[in-house]
Chain A
């Protein structure tokens, strides 16, 4: 007789795969076949996860059409089921899945559109930030300044893409009546240039804005955990005329940083 955990592993494999042989042996055969009974559970799990992904990725769904989206979502859910019981956290790796999914290889911009949608979704649900007191920054020794690292408001994502993902996203928003906002915007020139975006939640509203490439490079490097010395070097490599002083002033005034430390 299998243990509880053996039954559960076999049950999980039956729901995420399609082979129910192992667990079906443990299920009573009265009336309806065990496989049909397992189908009820499988159907609920996979359709719920598909709906969760569809809600987080409405533009991707629109770009590939719903049937294809449901197919991709089903594959993703089976390959990478949730690791947390909070379904608002589910789907973070869907953009990477799309990037490696052979069936959408030709849609080169799709993973980055998905990354933008995830950034907006994650911003909506991110923990509320606590403001940083900038006063102790003044006490940091001059020699240590270059080694400062910052932590960011958890709703922030700094997204870089070679594709015009912001234009693609905007062209796929409905107006209140459900019609495309602007039919001329529905055609986006893929050669229109890349995007350097900052996504965050301010109060209760998710915002997206484009930054100048060097400003974006500075923030993205800091957001990834680089020291300010390294981040400035990154920004200067993008634009030798980069104005560091005003960029730092903006960072502090926008209350996007919530903590700092001096890296060793």
Chain B
């Protein structure tokens, strides 16, 4: 399949403000500052019910073909700002970024004028094989050079500031001398990229690798945080040990809410998003979870600021 350019050009964020938040009534009167990860089974209902959510996030790779799904996303874009969340760029692979993939991502950026563009601190391509997972990296100077080079290349190609997300990890490499949070901080310093702090991933990784989640958050550079993710995880038994699996298949866990409050206290109110991918609930349940994040943020910050998605989109590098 080829890249697609052109197509109807949605209005800019500035032109539509923050979508239905400013135009719809909602029970809180404030709308819901927390956005949702939008998955295919919810799209039709979202377009009919037009819930008061400030923005939605989609996986970029699901919209790199043509057909009805992409056309529907144009309709979504007319109602809501869209954040593009990439899962396939493989920032951590030691070969050049896939030019075709980067081109397709750029075409999506041009078509949907996203409020945020994000990717992961991970790898998925080795020797031409694409492994559909966010695989772990050894955090070394070599890796830092590779990832920084790729982030710079992607930001240049997209004309956007990229947010880079911390992954969930189930292992660590023996030779991995740089702590992940420091690695992300240095990556941001070198490339000007922002960071997407997935609080559930911090919790999952900390549990699985025996790290201190609060110290992890305290190590991240405050000013670089451009987005927060929240999601549920599963508890699996592996050879008698509890391993947390980042399956996005349940409500956000109680201790992750507590960690979210810590993150808010440290980072201030940044755009927050609920992700749910397996055992997808009804759209109502998903929006309820987003409303809960909004309440937590409200209680924590004493004031509610709408996510600065429109402003961030000035993409200063």
Chain A interface (Cβ < 8 Å from any Cβ of B)? 1, 3-5, 7-9, 11-12, 15-16, 25-28, 30-34, 36-41, 44-45, 48-49, 81-89, 124-128, 154-155, 201, 204
- A8-B126, A26-B173, A204-B67 given; 8 more Cβ-contact pairs under 8 Å: A3-B142, A9-B127, A27-B173, A36-B239, A85-B98, A124-B68, A127-B4, A154-B1
Q: Contact partner of A83 among B64, B128, B146, B176, CB < 8 A?
A: B128
Which of B94, B98, B127, B239 sits near A3, CB closer than 8 Å?
B94
A127 touches B238 (CB 8 A): no
Interface size class of B (residues with CB under 8 A): 35 or more
A-binding residues in B (CB < 8 A): 1-4, 7, 61-62, 64-71, 87-90, 92-95, 98, 101, 104, 123-133, 135, 137-138, 140, 142-143, 146, 170-176, 209-210, 238-239, 241, 243, 245
Q: Knowing A86-B61, A126-B65, A204-B67, say if A81 contacts B130 (CB, 8 Å).
A: yes
Alpha-carbon distance A125/B124, docked complex (angstroms): 23
* Cβ 8 A contact of B170, one of A3, A40, A88: A40
Partner of A27, one of B1, B171, B239, B243: B171
Does A8 lie within 8 Å of B123, measured CB to CB? yes
Contacts of B95 in A (CB 8 A): 5
Q: Which of B68, B88, B128, B132 contacts A204 (CB 8 A)?
A: B68
Find A82's partner among B66, B132, B140, B175 (CB 8 Å cutoff).
B132
| B61–A45 touching, CB < 8 Å | no
Contact B243 A7 (CB under 8 A): no
Q: How many Å lie between the Cα of A125 and that of B70 in the bound state?
A: 9
Rounded to whole Å, the gap between the CB of B224 and the closest CB of chain A is 24
The reply to whether B93 and A7 contact each other, CB–CB distance below 8 Å, is no
Q: What residues of chain B lie closer than 8 Å to A84, measured between beta carbons?
A: 88, 101, 130
Whether A32 touches B71, Cβ cut-off 8 Å, given contacts A11-B135, A44-B133, is no
Closest to B142 in A: A4
Counting residue pairs across A and B whose Cβ atoms lie within 8 Å, the total is 147
B241 proximity list for chain A (CB < 8 A): 31-32
Q: Nearest residue in A to B145 (C-beta to C-beta)?
A: A4
What are some 26 contacts across the A-B interface (CB < 8 A)? A3-B94, A4-B92, A4-B143, A4-B146, A5-B95, A5-B126, A12-B127, A15-B131, A16-B131, A30-B210, A32-B243, A33-B239, A34-B171, A37-B170, A41-B135, A45-B132, A82-B129, A82-B130, A85-B88, A86-B61, A86-B62, A89-B1, A125-B65, A125-B67, A127-B1, A201-B67
Give the residues in chain B near A32, CB-CB below 8 Å: 238-239, 241, 243
Distance from A122 Cβ to chain B, minimum over Cβ atoms (Å): 8
Contacts of B174 in A (CB 8 A): 25-28
* Contact indicator B67/A4 (Cβ below 8 Å): no
Partner of A9, one of B101, B126, B138: B126
Which residues on B sit within 8 Å (CB–CB) of A27? 171-174
Q: Which residues of A contact B64 (CB under 8 A)?
A: 86
Given the contacts A40-B245, A125-B65, A8 and B132 also touching, CB distance less than 8 Å: no
Given contacts A12-B129, A27-B171, A32-B239, contact A204 B71 (CB under 8 A): yes
Chain A residues closer than 8 Å to B61, beta-carbon distance: 85-87
